[in-house]
Protein backbone atom coordinates (compact mmCIF):
# COMPACT_ATOMS: atom_id res chain seq x y z
CA UNK A 1 0.00 0.00 0.00
CA UNK A 2 1.34 3.49 -0.76
CA UNK A 3 2.43 5.44 2.31
CA UNK A 4 0.76 8.76 2.99
CA UNK A 5 2.99 11.83 3.18
CA UNK A 6 5.51 11.67 6.03
CA UNK A 7 4.91 15.27 7.08
CA UNK A 8 1.39 14.31 8.18
CA UNK A 9 2.83 12.10 10.91
CA UNK A 10 4.36 15.04 12.75
CA UNK A 11 1.16 16.82 13.68
CA UNK A 12 -2.23 15.77 14.93
CA UNK A 13 -5.78 16.63 14.08
CA UNK A 14 -6.97 19.72 15.90
CA UNK A 15 -7.74 19.02 19.56
CA UNK A 16 -9.96 22.13 19.60
CA UNK A 17 -12.26 20.69 16.96
CA UNK A 18 -12.07 17.25 18.58
CA UNK A 19 -13.35 18.77 21.84
CA UNK A 20 -16.39 20.13 20.00
CA UNK A 21 -17.18 16.57 18.93
CA UNK A 22 -16.72 15.37 22.53
CA UNK A 23 -19.04 18.11 23.83
CA UNK A 24 -21.69 17.21 21.26
CA UNK A 25 -21.44 13.55 22.14
CA UNK A 26 -22.07 14.28 25.84
CA UNK A 27 -24.52 17.16 25.43
CA UNK A 28 -22.01 19.27 27.35
CA UNK A 29 -21.72 23.08 27.16
CA UNK A 30 -19.02 23.73 24.58
CA UNK A 31 -16.58 26.32 25.89
CA UNK A 32 -13.88 24.63 23.82
CA UNK A 33 -13.93 25.70 20.16
CA UNK A 34 -14.22 29.48 20.05
CA UNK A 35 -17.46 30.32 18.29
CA UNK A 36 -20.67 32.04 19.47
CA UNK A 37 -23.98 30.36 20.24
CA UNK A 38 -25.77 33.63 19.48
CA UNK A 39 -26.87 34.91 16.10
CA UNK A 40 -25.04 37.53 14.08
CA UNK A 41 -26.76 40.96 13.80
CA UNK A 42 -30.21 40.78 12.17
CA UNK A 43 -29.17 43.25 9.42
CA UNK A 44 -26.52 40.79 8.34
CA UNK A 45 -28.98 37.92 8.06
CA UNK A 46 -31.27 40.16 6.00
CA UNK A 47 -28.34 41.07 3.76
CA UNK A 48 -27.69 37.36 3.27
CA UNK A 49 -31.31 36.83 2.22
CA UNK A 50 -30.97 39.67 -0.31
CA UNK A 51 -27.69 38.39 -1.68
CA UNK A 52 -29.18 34.90 -2.08
CA UNK A 53 -31.68 36.43 -4.51
CA UNK A 54 -29.02 38.43 -6.34
CA UNK A 55 -26.70 37.43 -9.17
CA UNK A 56 -23.93 36.10 -6.91
CA UNK A 57 -24.09 32.35 -7.35
CA UNK A 58 -21.00 31.87 -9.48
CA UNK A 59 -17.33 32.40 -8.69
CA UNK A 60 -16.38 35.86 -7.58
CA UNK A 61 -13.01 37.21 -8.71
CA UNK A 62 -10.59 34.79 -7.08
CA UNK A 63 -8.95 37.32 -4.78
CA UNK A 64 -12.30 38.66 -3.64
CA UNK A 65 -15.51 40.33 -4.86
CA UNK A 66 -14.66 43.98 -5.67
CA UNK A 67 -17.40 45.47 -3.47
CA UNK A 68 -16.25 43.35 -0.55
CA UNK A 69 -12.60 44.34 -0.97
CA UNK A 70 -13.51 48.01 -1.24
CA UNK A 71 -15.62 47.86 1.92
CA UNK A 72 -12.89 45.89 3.69
CA UNK A 73 -10.15 48.38 2.80
CA UNK A 74 -12.37 51.25 3.99
CA UNK A 75 -13.14 49.49 7.28
CA UNK A 76 -9.48 48.67 7.92
CA UNK A 77 -8.48 52.31 7.34
CA UNK A 78 -11.36 53.53 9.54
CA UNK A 79 -9.92 51.63 12.51
CA UNK A 80 -6.36 52.86 12.20
CA UNK A 81 -5.09 50.10 9.93
CA UNK A 82 -2.97 50.74 6.85
CA UNK A 83 -4.35 52.44 3.73
CA UNK A 84 -4.88 49.53 1.35
CA UNK A 85 -5.57 49.47 -2.36
CA UNK A 86 -8.43 46.95 -2.67
CA UNK A 87 -6.99 45.66 -5.95
CA UNK A 88 -3.37 45.38 -4.94
CA UNK A 89 -3.16 44.80 -1.20
CA UNK A 90 -5.86 42.25 -0.36
CA UNK A 91 -6.67 38.61 -0.97
CA UNK A 92 -10.00 37.38 0.41
CA UNK A 93 -9.75 33.84 1.75
CA UNK A 94 -11.89 31.09 3.27
CA UNK A 95 -11.46 32.27 6.83
CA UNK A 96 -8.22 33.32 8.43
CA UNK A 97 -7.40 29.60 8.50
CA UNK A 98 -6.78 29.76 4.77
CA UNK A 99 -5.25 33.22 5.16
CA UNK A 100 -2.50 31.90 7.45
CA UNK A 101 -1.83 28.96 5.14
CA UNK A 102 -1.56 31.36 2.19
CA UNK A 103 0.72 33.65 4.19
CA UNK A 104 2.94 30.76 5.19
CA UNK A 105 3.19 29.33 1.66
CA UNK A 106 3.82 32.79 0.24
CA UNK A 107 6.65 33.48 2.67
CA UNK A 108 8.39 30.14 3.13
CA UNK A 109 10.45 27.67 1.14
CA UNK A 110 10.61 24.01 2.17
CA UNK A 111 13.28 23.77 4.87
CA UNK A 112 12.77 27.31 6.19
CA UNK A 113 12.32 27.91 9.89
CA UNK A 114 9.35 29.80 11.33
CA UNK A 115 9.35 31.29 14.84
CA UNK A 116 6.15 30.59 16.75
CA UNK A 117 5.39 31.79 20.28
CA UNK A 118 4.27 29.10 22.68
CA UNK A 119 1.46 28.86 23.75
CA UNK A 120 0.11 29.17 20.21
CA UNK A 121 -3.04 28.55 18.24
CA UNK A 122 -2.74 24.99 16.91
CA UNK A 123 -2.93 25.87 13.23
CA UNK A 124 0.42 27.66 13.04
CA UNK A 125 2.58 24.58 13.57
CA UNK A 126 0.48 22.55 11.14
CA UNK A 127 0.57 25.36 8.55
CA UNK A 128 4.36 25.59 8.81
CA UNK A 129 4.78 21.84 8.43
CA UNK A 130 2.34 21.67 5.50
CA UNK A 131 4.40 24.41 3.83
CA UNK A 132 7.52 22.30 4.33
CA UNK A 133 8.84 24.68 6.98
CA UNK A 134 9.93 23.89 10.51
CA UNK A 135 8.42 25.71 13.50
CA UNK A 136 10.84 26.81 16.21
CA UNK A 137 9.33 27.98 19.48
CA UNK A 138 9.84 30.85 21.86
CA UNK A 139 8.03 30.73 25.20
CA UNK A 140 5.51 33.30 26.36
CA UNK A 141 6.00 32.80 30.07
CA UNK A 142 3.04 32.68 32.46
CA UNK A 143 1.60 34.45 34.36
CA UNK A 144 2.05 37.56 32.14
CA UNK A 145 3.06 35.74 28.97
CA UNK A 146 6.10 37.91 28.34
CA UNK A 147 8.85 36.69 26.06
CA UNK A 148 12.51 36.70 26.98
CA UNK A 149 14.23 38.99 24.46
CA UNK A 150 17.37 36.84 24.63
CA UNK A 151 15.45 33.68 23.83
CA UNK A 152 13.90 35.45 20.87
CA UNK A 153 17.33 36.62 19.70
CA UNK A 154 18.59 33.05 19.89
CA UNK A 155 15.64 31.89 17.79
CA UNK A 156 16.38 34.58 15.20
CA UNK A 157 20.04 33.50 15.18
CA UNK A 158 18.72 30.33 13.48
CA UNK A 159 17.82 32.51 10.48
CA UNK A 160 14.05 31.97 10.37
CA UNK A 161 12.15 33.09 7.31
CA UNK A 162 9.18 34.32 9.33
CA UNK A 163 7.73 35.00 12.75
CA UNK A 164 4.08 34.24 13.50
CA UNK A 165 2.44 36.81 15.74
CA UNK A 166 -1.05 36.25 17.12
CA UNK A 167 -2.16 39.57 18.58
CA UNK A 168 -4.45 39.67 20.55
CA UNK A 169 -3.23 36.26 21.46
CA UNK A 170 -5.12 33.00 21.45
CA UNK A 171 -5.03 31.21 23.93
CA UNK A 172 -3.29 33.42 26.51
CA UNK A 173 -5.14 36.70 25.89
CA UNK A 174 -1.97 38.77 25.66
CA UNK A 175 -2.12 42.09 23.81
CA UNK A 176 1.38 43.08 22.73
CA UNK A 177 2.55 46.57 23.64
CA UNK A 178 4.03 48.97 21.10
CA UNK A 179 7.48 48.45 22.65
CA UNK A 180 7.20 44.68 22.26
CA UNK A 181 5.99 45.00 18.68
CA UNK A 182 8.82 47.37 17.80
CA UNK A 183 11.30 44.92 19.28
CA UNK A 184 9.85 42.14 17.09
CA UNK A 185 9.98 44.37 14.06
CA UNK A 186 13.62 45.29 14.71
CA UNK A 187 14.58 41.64 14.93
CA UNK A 188 12.63 40.80 11.78
CA UNK A 189 14.39 43.65 9.97
CA UNK A 190 17.81 42.72 11.22
CA UNK A 191 17.34 39.12 10.01
CA UNK A 192 15.26 39.99 6.97
CA UNK A 193 12.30 37.86 8.07
CA UNK A 194 8.60 38.17 7.35
CA UNK A 195 6.07 38.74 10.11
CA UNK A 196 2.85 36.76 9.62
CA UNK A 197 0.23 38.23 11.91
CA UNK A 198 -3.08 36.79 13.02
CA UNK A 199 -5.20 39.73 14.15
CA UNK A 200 -8.65 38.14 14.14
CA UNK A 201 -9.41 39.44 17.66
CA UNK A 202 -8.46 43.04 16.78
CA UNK A 203 -11.85 44.37 17.94
CA UNK A 204 -11.94 42.35 21.16
CA UNK A 205 -9.37 44.21 23.26
CA UNK A 206 -10.29 45.17 26.83
CA UNK A 207 -9.57 48.57 28.34
CA UNK A 208 -6.98 49.89 28.98
CA UNK A 209 -5.21 47.76 26.37
CA UNK A 210 -5.13 48.81 22.74
CA UNK A 211 -4.65 46.93 19.52
CA UNK A 212 -1.86 48.13 17.26
CA UNK A 213 -2.04 46.70 13.73
CA UNK A 214 1.51 45.43 13.15
CA UNK A 215 1.58 46.65 9.53
CA UNK A 216 1.19 50.26 10.71
CA UNK A 217 4.54 50.26 12.54
CA UNK A 218 7.10 52.34 10.67
CA UNK A 219 8.80 50.19 8.04
CA UNK A 220 6.71 47.08 8.81
CA UNK A 221 4.70 47.09 5.60
CA UNK A 222 7.30 45.51 3.33
CA UNK A 223 7.59 42.40 5.50
CA UNK A 224 4.15 41.98 7.10
CA UNK A 225 1.37 39.67 5.97
CA UNK A 226 -1.69 40.47 8.08
CA UNK A 227 -4.30 37.73 8.41
CA UNK A 228 -7.73 38.95 9.41
CA UNK A 229 -11.24 37.62 9.57
CA UNK A 230 -14.88 38.57 9.83
CA UNK A 231 -15.63 35.47 11.92
CA UNK A 232 -15.16 36.83 15.41
CA UNK A 233 -15.98 40.49 14.79
CA UNK A 234 -19.41 39.79 13.30
CA UNK A 235 -20.13 36.38 14.88
CA UNK A 236 -20.09 34.54 11.56
CA UNK A 237 -17.46 31.83 11.97
CA UNK A 238 -19.38 29.58 9.57
CA UNK A 239 -19.25 32.11 6.73
CA UNK A 240 -15.54 31.48 6.37
CA UNK A 241 -14.54 34.99 5.36
CA UNK A 242 -10.97 36.04 6.00
CA UNK A 243 -8.20 37.87 4.21
CA UNK A 244 -4.50 38.49 3.82
CA UNK A 245 -3.39 42.12 3.61
CA UNK A 246 0.13 43.01 2.49
CA UNK A 247 2.16 45.08 0.05
CA UNK A 248 1.57 44.73 -3.68
CA UNK A 249 4.76 42.69 -4.18
CA UNK A 250 3.65 40.12 -1.60
CA UNK A 251 -0.02 40.04 -2.56
CA UNK A 252 0.83 39.36 -6.21
CA UNK A 253 2.31 36.04 -5.02
CA UNK A 254 -0.31 35.34 -2.34
CA UNK A 255 -3.06 35.62 -4.99
CA UNK A 256 -1.53 32.66 -6.79
CA UNK A 257 -1.38 30.50 -3.68
CA UNK A 258 -4.98 31.32 -2.82
CA UNK A 259 -6.23 30.75 -6.37
CA UNK A 260 -4.85 27.23 -6.50
CA UNK A 261 -5.85 26.35 -2.93
CA UNK A 262 -9.52 27.34 -2.99
CA UNK A 263 -10.22 29.63 -6.01
CA UNK A 264 -12.27 31.85 -3.77
CA UNK A 265 -14.43 32.49 -0.75
CA UNK A 266 -18.20 32.10 -1.16
CA UNK A 267 -19.50 34.84 -3.46
CA UNK A 268 -22.97 35.44 -1.93
CA UNK A 269 -21.45 35.66 1.53
CA UNK A 270 -18.92 38.25 0.44
CA UNK A 271 -21.74 40.35 -1.01
CA UNK A 272 -23.80 40.08 2.18
CA UNK A 273 -20.83 40.83 4.42
CA UNK A 274 -20.41 44.30 2.87
CA UNK A 275 -23.27 45.24 5.21
CA UNK A 276 -21.17 44.21 8.21
CA UNK A 277 -18.11 46.11 7.04
CA UNK A 278 -20.26 49.23 6.83
CA UNK A 279 -21.63 48.97 10.39
CA UNK A 280 -21.17 52.22 12.32
CA UNK A 281 -18.56 52.56 15.08
CA UNK A 282 -21.29 51.97 17.66
CA UNK A 283 -21.45 48.33 16.55
CA UNK A 284 -17.86 47.81 17.66
CA UNK A 285 -18.41 49.62 20.96
CA UNK A 286 -21.33 47.31 21.68
CA UNK A 287 -19.31 44.23 20.69
CA UNK A 288 -16.60 45.18 23.14
CA UNK A 289 -19.07 46.02 25.89
CA UNK A 290 -20.72 42.62 25.37
CA UNK A 291 -17.44 40.71 25.49
CA UNK A 292 -16.25 42.69 28.52
CA UNK A 293 -19.45 41.68 30.33
CA UNK A 294 -19.12 38.04 29.22
CA UNK A 295 -15.51 37.94 30.34
CA UNK A 296 -16.39 39.31 33.77
CA UNK A 297 -19.34 36.96 34.01
CA UNK A 298 -17.34 33.78 33.39
CA UNK A 299 -14.37 34.93 35.44
CA UNK A 300 -16.72 35.76 38.32
CA UNK A 301 -17.77 32.12 38.47
CA UNK A 302 -14.17 30.94 38.13
CA UNK A 303 -13.24 33.12 41.11
CA UNK A 304 -15.62 31.03 43.20
CA UNK A 305 -13.72 27.82 42.38
CA UNK A 306 -10.56 28.96 44.12
CA UNK A 307 -8.55 28.06 41.01
CA UNK A 308 -6.15 30.46 39.29
CA UNK A 309 -7.03 31.63 35.80
CA UNK A 310 -5.75 34.18 33.31
CA UNK A 311 -7.51 37.51 32.84
CA UNK A 312 -7.38 38.12 29.10
CA UNK A 313 -6.32 41.54 27.80
CA UNK A 314 -7.87 40.60 24.46
CA UNK A 315 -9.68 37.78 22.62
CA UNK A 316 -12.18 35.59 24.48
CA UNK A 317 -10.28 32.81 26.21
CA UNK A 318 -9.09 32.11 29.72
CA UNK A 319 -6.60 29.47 30.82
CA UNK A 320 -7.73 27.89 34.07
CA UNK A 321 -5.04 26.25 36.19
CA UNK A 322 -6.59 22.88 36.98
CA UNK A 323 -3.44 21.39 38.52
CA UNK A 324 -4.79 21.47 42.13
CA UNK A 325 -7.69 19.20 41.12
CA UNK A 326 -5.54 16.08 41.00
CA UNK A 327 -6.33 14.81 37.51
CA UNK A 328 -3.65 12.70 35.81
CA UNK A 329 -3.27 15.38 33.13
CA UNK A 330 -5.20 18.11 31.35
CA UNK A 331 -6.61 15.77 28.73
CA UNK A 332 -8.10 13.52 31.40
CA UNK A 333 -9.41 16.62 33.15
CA UNK A 334 -11.12 17.91 29.99
CA UNK A 335 -12.80 14.55 29.43
CA UNK A 336 -13.81 14.04 33.07
CA UNK A 337 -15.14 17.60 33.43
CA UNK A 338 -17.16 17.07 30.25
CA UNK A 339 -18.65 13.86 31.58
CA UNK A 340 -19.27 14.83 35.18
CA UNK A 341 -19.88 18.59 35.07
CA UNK A 342 -21.15 19.06 31.54
CA UNK A 343 -18.74 21.83 30.51
CA UNK A 344 -16.08 21.26 27.87
CA UNK A 345 -12.80 23.13 27.48
CA UNK A 346 -9.63 22.46 25.51
CA UNK A 347 -6.70 20.75 27.25
CA UNK A 348 -4.08 23.48 27.47
CA UNK A 349 -1.24 21.21 26.39
CA UNK A 350 -2.46 21.38 22.80
CA UNK A 351 -1.31 25.02 22.74
CA UNK A 352 2.11 24.57 24.34
CA UNK A 353 5.33 23.29 22.87
CA UNK A 354 6.67 22.72 26.38
CA UNK A 355 5.10 19.90 28.43
CA UNK A 356 2.55 22.11 30.20
CA UNK A 357 -0.42 20.10 31.44
CA UNK A 358 -1.90 22.44 34.03
CA UNK A 359 -4.45 24.41 32.00
CA UNK A 360 -7.93 24.03 30.60
CA UNK A 361 -8.84 26.70 28.04
CA UNK A 362 -12.40 28.00 28.29
CA UNK A 363 -13.96 30.59 25.99
CA UNK A 364 -16.79 33.00 26.67
CA UNK A 365 -18.22 33.73 23.22
CA UNK A 366 -21.57 32.49 24.44
CA UNK A 367 -24.97 33.90 25.39
CA UNK A 368 -24.99 35.23 28.95
CA UNK A 369 -27.49 32.52 29.89
CA UNK A 370 -25.11 29.83 28.58
CA UNK A 371 -22.27 31.34 30.58
CA UNK A 372 -24.46 31.42 33.70
CA UNK A 373 -25.34 27.76 33.24
CA UNK A 374 -21.71 26.76 32.64
CA UNK A 375 -20.47 29.02 35.43
CA UNK A 376 -22.95 27.65 37.98
CA UNK A 377 -21.86 24.11 37.18
CA UNK A 378 -18.18 25.00 37.46
CA UNK A 379 -18.61 27.00 40.66
CA UNK A 380 -20.60 24.17 42.26
CA UNK A 381 -18.44 21.25 41.27
CA UNK A 382 -14.96 22.46 40.33
CA UNK A 383 -13.55 23.09 43.78
CA UNK A 384 -9.91 23.05 44.65
N1 LIG B 1 -10.12 30.14 16.88
C2 LIG B 1 -11.02 29.21 17.46
C3 LIG B 1 -10.43 28.59 18.71
O4 LIG B 1 -9.28 28.77 19.01
C5 LIG B 1 -11.39 28.07 16.55
C6 LIG B 1 -11.23 28.32 15.16
C7 LIG B 1 -11.44 27.07 14.37
O8 LIG B 1 -11.70 26.00 14.93
N9 LIG B 1 -11.26 27.23 13.10
O10 LIG B 1 -11.13 27.87 19.36
Asked if residues 18 and 32 have their Cβ atoms less than 8 Å apart, the reply is: no
- The response to whether residue 229 sits with its C-beta less than 6 Å from ligand 1 reads no
Residue 1 lies in a domain: no
Whether residue 162 is found in the same domain as residue 293: no
- The response to whether residue 231 sits with its C-beta less than 6 Å from ligand 1 reads no
Which structural domain, as residue segments, surrounds residue 367? Answer: 6-40+282-382
Mean of pLDDT values over 315-322? 98
Closest ligand 1 atom number to CA of residue 171? 4
Centroid of ligand 1 to alpha carbon of 238 (angstroms): 11
pLDDT of amino acid 11: 87
Task: Flag whether pLDDT at 12 surpasses 90.
Answer: no
Residue 150 lies in a domain: yes
| Beta pairing partners, 165 | 197
Whether residue 139 is found in the same domain as residue 256: yes
Mean of pLDDT values over 192-221? 98
Asked if residues 136 and 153 have their Cβ atoms less than 8 Å apart, the reply is: no
Q: Using the 3D structure, point to which of 277, 295, 318 is the last residue of a domain.
A: 277
Count structural domains, the chain: 2
Instruction: State the Cα–Cα distance between residues 98 and 227, nearest whole angstrom.
Output: 9
Whether residue 56 is found in the same domain as residue 135: yes
Ligand 1: which of 15, 32, 127, 237 to mutate, most ligand atoms within 8 Å of CB? 237
Q: Using the 3D structure, point to which of 215, 250, 277 is the last residue of a domain.
A: 277
Centroid of ligand 1 to alpha carbon of 237 (angstroms): 9
Q: Using the 3D structure, point to which of 259, 277, 295 is the last residue of a domain.
A: 277
Task: Flag whether pLDDT at 384 surpasses 80.
Answer: no
Whether residue 83 is found in the same domain as residue 200: yes
Q: In whole numbers, what is the pLDDT of the chain averaged over residues? A: 97
Task: Flag whether pLDDT at 175 surpasses 90.
Answer: yes
Residues in the chain, total: 384
Mean of pLDDT values over 324-339? 96
- The response to whether residue 28 sits with its C-beta less than 6 Å from ligand 1 reads no
List pLDDT tens digits, range 104-155. 999 999 999 999 999 999 999 999 999 999 999 999 999 899 999 999 999 9
Whether residue 134 is found in the same domain as residue 177: yes
Mean of pLDDT values over 67-71? 98
Whether residue 313 is found in the same domain as residue 356: yes
Q: Binning pLDDT at 50, 70 and 90, where does residue 379 land?
A: very high
Whether residue 63 is found in the same domain as residue 142: yes
Task: Flag whether pLDDT at 223 surpasses 80.
Answer: yes
Q: What percent of the chain has pLDDT over 90?
A: 97
pLDDT of amino acid 14: 93
Mean of pLDDT values over 54-66? 98
Q: What is the 3-state secondary structure (H, E, C) of the chain?
A: CCCCCHHHHHCCCCHHHHHHHHHHHHCCEECCCCCCCCCCCHHHHHHHHHHHHCCCCCCCCCCCCHHHHHHHHHHHHHCCCCCCCCCCCEEEEEHHHHHHHHHHHHHCCCCCEEEEEECCCCHHHHHHHHCCCEEEEEEEECCCCEECHHHHHHHHCCCCCEEEEECCCCCCCCCCCHHHHHHHHHHHHHCCCEEEEECCCCCCECCCCCCCCHHHCCCCHHHEEEEEECCCCCCCHHHCEEEEECCHHHHHHHHHHHHHHHCCCCHHHHHHHHHHHCCCHHHHHHHHHHHHHHHHHHHHHHHHHCCCECCCCECCEEEEECHHHCCCCHHHHHHHHHHHHCEECEEHHHHCCCCCCCEEEEECCCCHHHHHHHHHHHHHHCCC
- The response to whether residue 170 sits with its C-beta less than 6 Å from ligand 1 reads yes
Whether residue 348 is found in the same domain as residue 363: yes
Amino acid sequence: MPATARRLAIFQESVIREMTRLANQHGSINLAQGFPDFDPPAELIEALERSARGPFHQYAITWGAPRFRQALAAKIARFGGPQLDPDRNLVVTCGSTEAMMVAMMTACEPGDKVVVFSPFYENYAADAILSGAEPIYVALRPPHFDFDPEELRRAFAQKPKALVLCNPSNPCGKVFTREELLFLLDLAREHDAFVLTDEVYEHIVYAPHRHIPFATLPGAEERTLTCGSLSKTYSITGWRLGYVAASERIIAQAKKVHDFLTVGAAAPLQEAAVTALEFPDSYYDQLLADYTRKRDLLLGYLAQTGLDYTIPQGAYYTLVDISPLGFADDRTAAEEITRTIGVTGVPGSSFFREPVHRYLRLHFAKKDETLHRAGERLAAKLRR
